[in-house]
Amino acid sequence: MSTAAATAAVRVPSPRRPGLPVDGAVDVLPEPAVLPELFVPDASHWLSTSASRLAMDSYSWMQAVHWVAGSGLYKPRRHHESGPRSFGATTVRVAQELAKFLQCRPGIELLMARTGLCKRSVENHLRMLRETGLLVWVFQGTREKGGDRKASEFVLVVPPEFDAALGIRTVQRHEAAPDYTRAVAGIGEAGRETMAKLAKKAARKVRKPKKKPSSRRSAKASPAAAAAAAA
């Protein structure tokens, strides 16, 4: 996402103050409110405790994923020296794999095979998806010895910061229903352009970057190439 788009995505328009001042001057709109840092604590990583809403489908969820990636609102608070420093393209690739599952219960090994990442890296990116309110637990897997191993089950969700930034209106269709079941009822005019850009991003697949040839190989190949050129 471009700098301009990211800025538009993280600012929430403030309401216009009604009326004119006594001196007849035109009332000026207040500065738009800036969203706070995006971070969800461990206690809210579960569907029952999350402030996020269920994603309508994988496509709309990927729009929210790309918005988080471009907003700059999230900074990992816990990372190893070799761990990811930001929510970037690799996190989006992990999200793409999660979006393929109707029942979101992929094992770590499967995600490792599909993304080419090591176990710790996959776990780090899953944690970042939870800390941004995009992924919540329904059931956390077990590894009990002598018993059946049960895979963790996740649910794809959309954080309230996304709805606020794009002016998305949501409604609760049943009073007794959980808050995470609220549905999208519309979107403000200001958020439509950003949503269109996110739709294009969600439709494209983020691929693993190709490895560049090492300088050592290039150095070894250069004398041979020079000899061939001289011949």
pLDDT tens track for 129-170: 999 999 999 988 776 666 667 778 999 999 999 999 999 999
* Distance from the Cα of residue 185 to its chain's centroid: 22
The amino acid occupying position 92 is V
3 state SS of 46: strand
Query: Residue 45 corresponds to which tokens in the numbers above?
Result: 């990583």
Angstrom CA distances, 189 to 54, 121, 152, stand at 23, 39, 39
Confidence (pLDDT) at 167 = 96
3 state SS of 6: helix
Q: Domain boundaries in the chain?
A: 3-12+36-142+149-204
Q: What is the dihedral of CA 173, 174, 179, 183, to 10 degrees?
A: -20
What's the whole-number average pLDDT of the chain?
A: 80
Give me the mean pLDDT over the 204-227 stretch.
60
Q: Residues, the chain, total? A: 231
Closest by CA position to 102, among listed 154, 60, 53: 154
Confidence (pLDDT) at 99 = 94
56 in Cβ contact with 184 (< 8 Å)? yes
Query: Residue 66 corresponds to which tokens in the numbers above?
Result: 């790309």
Confidence (pLDDT) at 147 = 63
For the cut 50, the answer to whether the pLDDT of residue 218 exceeds it is: no
Q: What is the dihedral of CA 137, 139, 140, 146, to 10 degrees?
A: -170
187 in Cβ contact with 168 (< 8 Å)? yes
The C-alpha atoms of residue 196 and residue 26 are separated, in whole angstroms, by 33
74 in Cβ contact with 132 (< 8 Å)? yes
- Cβ-in-10-Å burial (0-12, 13-18, 19+) of 225 comes to exposed
| Bridge-based pairing state of the strands 168-171 and 53-54 | unpaired
CB atoms within 10 A of CB 210: 6
Closest by CA position to 40, among listed 146, 127, 151, 150: 127
Confidence (pLDDT) at 84 = 85
Full-model pTM = 0.75
- β-bridge mates for residue 107, sequence order: none
Closest by CA position to 166, among listed 184, 181, 188: 188
Q: DSSP state, 139?
A: E
Confidence (pLDDT) at 145 = 62
